[in-house]
Amino acid sequence: MSRGKRLLVTGGAGFIGSHTADRLVAAGYEVAVLDNLSTGRVENVPPAARFFPHDINSREAAELIRSWQPRALLHFAAQVSVSCSVRDPLGDARENILGSLNLLTAAAQAGVEKVVFASTGGAMYGDEAPAPARETDPATPESPYAIAKLAVEHYLRFFGRQHRMTPVSLRYANVYGPRQSGQGEAGVVAIFTEKFLAGEQPVIHGDGRQTRDFLYVTDAVAAALLALDYPGAGVFNIGTGQETDILTIGRRLKELTGARQDAAHGPPKAGEQRRSALDSSRAAAALGWQPQVDLEEGLRRTVAAFREQRAAMP
């Protein structure tokens, strides 16, 4: 297959990355997946994709890019927990900044033409920004996680100028859906769903009135594929523009799972912003992207997938 159909997906055994790899394989691309399996699962990798169990900070990852020479890099691998980044800013920077630089340096050497980067919109703008926030609003990240994402966006522009590499950064809202892990500290829908289905009590951090813009995973994937075909560079918000508070998410997931007890309340998380929603007008105009799955349908699909996964467990 020609280089024009050859793509590398980092984090392709994880949540958004594996769904993206599935769609790319189905579209006829030759796909390689790079994932160290720290949070991803090898069974998420499409059978038709080539799998490389390397860390993005490793020499092996850089050598893979230089030798395989994909046309484009879709970069989803990351440390995704805001609270972890607050506790360990150095570790977060090592993964999210230095790991990205390792990939980008090798991509420049390999003549990679396009980079689609999974940035953050949910944590990028801070509490001073309006909701929904636009890309023209100041980026004032309040956590090391979001600071790292913004830094990589700037590095991408640098590499784009210096190496004729076309970068597209997708500032995702709070993505949820099947394959998201409920075992960590990020992903409230996955965490609540797993807890409720197991008969356990999830914890709402703070009063639960903090809002998020919840985006179903297939809509996130659709944006990545449109960004891959988009001829230019750019930064795009990818969200629904709708705010939903955590109390509402907890109540609806309790109903959908048939759980008997409500969520408990615990102390708020450090570095967590109060409100978040994204205006995606720029993505609609340039990419032709709009969300297709509303929150009610997305939650139903998510609970059904988690219930099926639980039923299949030995």
Tens-digit pLDDT string for the chain (314 aa) = 456 799 999 999 999 999 999 999 999 999 999 999 999 999 999 999 999 999 999 999 999 999 999 999 999 999 988 888 999 999 999 999 999 999 999 999 999 999 999 999 988 998 888 889 999 999 999 899 999 999 999 999 999 999 999 999 999 999 999 999 877 656 899 999 999 999 999 999 999 999 999 999 999 999 999 999 999 999 999 999 999 999 999 999 999 999 998 999 999 877 778 899 999 999 999 999 999 999 999 999 999 999 998 887 77
Of 3.40.50.720, 3.40.50.280, 3.40.50.150, 3.20.170.30, the CATH number of 3-174+216-240+278-292 is 3.40.50.720
Q: Give the pLDDT of residue 252.
A: 97
Tokens of 87: 């506790």
Q: Residue 300: which of 206, 202, 214 has the closest Cα?
A: 214
Q: Is 55 helix (H, G, I), strand (E, B) or coil?
A: coil
The predicted pLDDT at position 184 comes to 61
Per the CB < 8 A criterion, the answer to whether 17 and 39 are in contact is: no
Do residues 237 and 121 touch, judged by C-beta distance below 8 A? yes
Judge whether 35 and 51 are in contact, CB under 8 Å: yes
Active-site position among 145, 172, 216, 230: 145
- Using DSSP, state whether 135 is helix, strand or coil: coil
Produce one character per residue of 281-299: b if its CB has 16 or more CB atoms within 10 Å, e if not.
ebbeeebebebebebeebb
**Domain extents in the chain:** 3-174+216-240+278-292
* pLDDT score of 186: 63
172 counts as catalytic: no
Q: Is the dihedral of CA 183, 184, 190, 194 positive or negative?
A: positive
Task: Please give the pLDDT value at position 312.
Answer: 79
Contacts of 288 (CB under 8 A, 6+ apart): 226
Q: What is the pLDDT of residue 185?
A: 55
Check residue 122 and give its pLDDT.
84
Residue whose structure tokens are 């914890």: 203
- Is this prediction's pTM over 0.85? yes
The pLDDT assigned to 120 comes to 95
